[in-house]
Amino acid sequence: MASDEGTVRVDSWIWSVRLTKTRSMAATACRGGHVRVNGERVKAAHGVRPGDEVRLRHAGRERIVVVSRLVSKRVGAAVAAECFVDNSPPPPPREEIIAVPQRDRGTGRPTKRDRREMEQLRGR
């Protein structure tokens, strides 16, 4: 499971330690500029070493982790937790997450007045 090499691809490592659900999601995050290693945006093929700081914006949250162990294959959750040190800020409490109002089914398309009220609620 542990890699004998000095580096592992960043997209592979993010997927291996279960920060993203799939490797393609990790590669897409790298392509979109959502992954930084030691403060620099990186491509999916960039290598990570123990001691590197990886910042990942995923699912509306920023994860800040420090690589402590290299793995190239996906590992179990218990082993994955040992491969990095999580320095991420805690997620916001559920009460602070603003609920988006939902329209009732069958009410049809919103009128211009309804749309303006919805935008006002969203703060736009």
**Judging by DSSP bridges, how do beta strands 35-37 and 84-86 pair with one another?**
unpaired
Token representation of residue 116: 């303006």
Summarised one tens digit per residue, pLDDT across range 83-105 is 999 999 888 777 666 666 677 88
Predicted local distance difference test score (pLDDT) of residue 46? 95
Answering whether pTM is above 0.85, one says no
**Separation of alpha carbons 45 and 48, rounded Å:** 9
Degrees to nearest 5, angle at CA 115 with 111 and 116? 120
Task: Using the structure block, give the residue that is written with the tokens 């609920």.
Answer: 99
Summarised one tens digit per residue, pLDDT across range 69-82 is 999 899 999 999 99
